[in-house]
Structure 1
Amino acid sequence: MQWLTAYPIATISTLAFYLLLLSLAIPRLRAMIGPLFVHPIPPHQEYLRGFDTLRGFAASFVAIGHCYWVSNFVFGSIKTPSVIAFATKGVPMFAMLSGFLIFRSTLAIASISDLRAYAVRRFFRIYPVYLLGVVLCLLLGQYVGSQYFTGTALFVSDLFMFPVFFWPGGFANPPTWSLYVEVMFYAFLPFAVIVLGRRRMLMVAVIGVLAMILADYPSRFFVLWKYFLIGIIAAELSPRVAKNAAVLFGLGVVLLIIDLGGPRLDWVAKIGIGRLHEDGASIGLGLAFGLILLTLPHLDRISRALNILPLRLIGVISYSVYITQFVYIGINFSEINLFTQIGTVAIKPHLTNLTTMPKWYLPLVFFPGILFWGAVSFLLVEKPALRFGQRLIQRFAHLHKKVS
């Protein structure tokens, strides 16, 4: 029973998450708890069933991958790379989902008031949970200086999201690297749509992807941009593929399964298109997941199946899961002093001496605890912030009517 007591915080957190799932299976409790885990702000475009689940899969994939990378010595000896070793693929999936969904939301921007509402929604969607991550990093002593910058400078940089402006000192919470790119995309996209117009966006996105493939470079920041553009392409092509949606969706699933095998199965790079990225950021992933995105809105049965409450719940809390995952890992492993040391040679000796757990311990006992704290973050921070942002938008609209 050592697996039950070795990491008590993980055990208790996972038990709480399983109790949450159990409550959703009881009709009376589901009627009470289910409404707590819904988006407080209705979508401005048609709600796309199944997309929350895809987002939940991407965030969970990244989180369980980080658990594995940090402490695979504990979670069983896995000598050959498994699909979990390439969980970084969840980040490009997130980017494609953002490209698809945020592009659709920008199409409704027709005035300064609409642009302001868009900015307010994005701010309260992103910053409050991000700020929670900053505060938790501060409490856990993650803001430590170096020969190039002080701990205070690092904290202030994180607080104001200076890495968005290419602040060179790094950041305390490792998963936020992709969030900074996403914030740049959020800021850039509405102006691109306004200047170029919707009719030109497909052409520009295609040209952008092709150019980025030709100029491919082993920088995760640069590489991520093409996935946002693939999401835009999928959003624009989606209305045109209704008749062949099932076939294309099946093709996308098959290609995704192949791509999850990692660089050794990167068939696009092997035929000479683009670079072979060891982190799994492949063109094949963009093609596979892009096909899934553009076809899912037309597949009613599949989208309904993906939209069942336990799966949808994980999608709803996905952003909170993404931001808080390293805090959960760090609290459970006292051997980890700084999150930025994770994956380095310096931390390896501290983890190799820990007791090895069965392989099933990671997915069934350790990882689900992250989802519990993601749910807590959603209820206490993310959801109230979204509601406040919506009230602010309504107040701006009311003042605008009074002035006009």
Structure 2
Amino acid sequence: MRVHSIDYLRGAMASAVLLYHFASWSVGGQASDTVLGKLGIYAVSTFYIISGMSMFIAYRKSEWSMGETFTYLIKRFFRIAPLFAVATLSTILVVKIMKPAYVPDTANLIANLTLAFGFYAPTKYIATGGWSIGNEMVFYYFFPILALLVKRPALFAWAFIGTLGVYAFYAFSVLGTAKDIGSGWADYVHPANQGFLFLAGVALGKLYIDGVIIKQKTALLTLGLAAAAFVIYPASGNQISIVTGFNRLAFTGLLVAIVYSVACISINTESIAHAVMEKLGELSYSIYMLHGVIGMAAMNLIAPHFGITEKLDKLYLLLFGALPCTLIASLLVHKFIEMPAMKLAKAISPKRNALPASQLY
């Protein structure tokens, strides 16, 4: 079962992260009172909810035997690792050109290429945005347990409440003492601070499969109201203000409403718009992982070479140079690296009866 509207949202959120970074790197950091400032934080949070929901829908028929679990882990690794390696090695190459004396730490490089860093050193990512993929791998590791818990509603409810408690603890106590998002970054990117979002997605997937579907008009109204509330929600200053306290819980509630209302919207799969948005969703992981290194190259190699120093000129360089390059690179990497890697994973994995997993981004 493929939920096309969720693909749309996935692509839109990847694009939002790209625009947030390009704006921040050129004209300056985006504060909490701007739409991009909010999306810079919560687009990634949306990915976690989408991921949890997509994984549950895709693997809803799995019994999680040893063979099925092994197959699942192989496919997840081959889905994520090849592109992550491309982004990581490309970032190292660009940094090496910028700073010839730079030598990557071998242990850290291995941790990135194996995607193990998320389990014990979530701040040690190399590629832009890599921390969130490290978190995803942690969630994927525990997903079979969550999927089994769903079959025992009482246990799942306790897991849900407990994870929400940890989420609130981070929002009010751990991050609540941070002066800004930079000083609180190590705590913010920790999987324990993000796990509830993935679990909330699993819960939404269960509701969706159980047929708890909002009618089209209600879904559109809910989406409109939640999106409007997200935009106008009062916030100011450093982004730490929107990831702490009641603001964190409010934004999370809005994201849950947005994701589920989008999932319940029917899509005309015959339109040109669908073809464009479906492709954007298909390339969303590539866009997310590649825009950082391409933007870095544009800002630090291309801009100085052509004497581009003004903020707006740098933004134009990113929007009209780096963005098209990101899309082209994403198309090529998806076709020649991601797709072959997924086919290889399928070929070497034991057969199973569960449905094929939806794409992460």
Q: By how many angstroms is 1:57 displaced? A: 0.9
Q: 1:166 aligns with which of 116, 120, 145?
A: 120
Q: Distance in 2 between matches of 1:142 and 1:162?
A: 24
Aligned to 2:296: 330
Counterpart in 1 of 2:131? 177
Which residue of the partner structure matches residue 34 of structure 2? 82
Report 1:210-225 matches (<5 A).
210-215=164-169, 216=171, 217-218=174-175, 219-220=187-188, 221=190, 222-225=192-195
2:2 corresponds in structure 1 to 47
- Check conservation: 1:96, 1:229, Cα contact below 8 A: yes
Q: Which moved more, 1:198-207 or 1:129-138?
A: 198-207
Give the match for residue 354 of structure 1: 310
Deviation of the 1:260 alpha carbon: 3.4
Q: Residue 165 of structure 1 aligns to which amino acid in structure 2?
A: F
| C-alpha displacement of 1:240 | 4.9
Could you tell me which amino acid in structure 1 is paired with residue 258 of structure 2?
A: I
Q: Which residue of 2 aligns with 1:97?
A: 50
What is aligned with 1:293?
A: 259
Looking at structure 1, the residues matched to 159 and 219 of structure 2 have their Cα atoms a distance apart, in angstroms, of 21
In the alignment, which of 302, 318, 343 is matched to residue 284 of structure 2? 318
Q: Secondary structure at the match of 1:300?
A: coil
TM-fit CA distance, 1:302: 7.0
1:56 touches 1:318 (CA, 8 Å); kept in 2? yes
Alpha-carbon separation, structure 1, partners of 2:224 and 2:166: 24
SS of equivalent to 1:161: coil
For the residue of structure 2 that corresponds to 1:172, the secondary structure is: coil
Normalising by structure 2, what TM-score? 0.76
Correspondence 1:124-163 to 2 at 5 A: 124-141=78-95, 151-163=105-117
| C-alpha RMSD of the superposition | 3.8
Name the CA shift for 1:361/1:64 in 2 (closer, same or farther; >3 Å): same
Structure 1 residue identity aligned to 2:34:
S
Q: How far 1:363 moved relative to its partner?
A: 4.8
**Could you give the per-residue CA deviations for residues 147-171 of structure 1, whole angstroms, max 9, x where no partner exists?**
xx96333323322333223237722
- Say whether 1:231 aligns with 2:201: yes
Q: Is the 8 A contact 1:258 1:265 kept in 2?
A: no
Are residues 132 and 60 of structure 1, via their aligned partners in 2, closer, same or farther at CA, if it must alter by over 3 Å? same
Q: Is the 8 A contact 1:230 1:286 kept in 2?
A: no
After TM superposition, give the deviation of residue 142 of structure 1 in Å: 5.5
* Residue identity in the other structure for 1:95: Y
Deviations 1:190-249 (A, max 9, x none): 023235635346524541353134313323224322211221222222345435553244
Partner of 2:25: 70
- Highest Rg: 1 or 2? 1
1:386 Cα offset (Å): 0.9
> Take 1:310 and 1:374, find their aligned partners in 2: how far apart are those partners?
14
Q: Given the two structures, how large is their TM-score scaled by the length of structure 1? A: 0.69
How far off its partner does 1:63 sit?
1.4
Q: Deviations over 1:56-86 (max 9, x none)?
A: 111111111111111216xxx9999531233
Any unmatched runs of 5+ in structure 2? 176-186, 353-361
Tell me the amino acid that sits aligned with residue 285 of structure 1.
F
Distance in 1 of aligned mates of 2:100 and 2:300: 20
What is the CA distance between 1:313 and its match in structure 2?
A: 0.6
Distance in 1, matches of 2:54 and 2:347, equals: 22
Structure 1 position 319, deviation (Å): 0.7
Check the 8 A contact 1:129/1:381 in 2, yes or no.
yes
Aligned equivalents of 2:236, 2:311: Cα separation in 1: 33
Q: Is the 8 A contact 2:27 2:311 kept in 1?
A: no
Query: Could you tell me the percent identity over the aligned residues?
Result: 19
Query: Cα 1:363–1:302, aligned 2, differ >3 Å: closer, same or farther?
Result: farther
The 2-side partners of 1:243 and 1:323 are apart by 33
Q: How far has the Cα of 1:303 moved from its partner?
A: 7.9
User: Which digits, 9 at most, give the CA deviation of each residue in 1:103-159, with x for residues without a partner?
Assistant: 22333221222212211211111111111122212322459999xx96333323322
Question: Residues 361 and 200 (structure 1 numbering): CA distance in 2 closer, same or farther, change over 3 Å?
Answer: farther
Correspondence for 2:230: 259
Say if 1:52 and 1:312, in contact at 8 Å, map to a contact too. Answer: yes
How many residues get paired? 325
* Distance change (3 Å), C-alpha of 1:154 and 1:242: closer
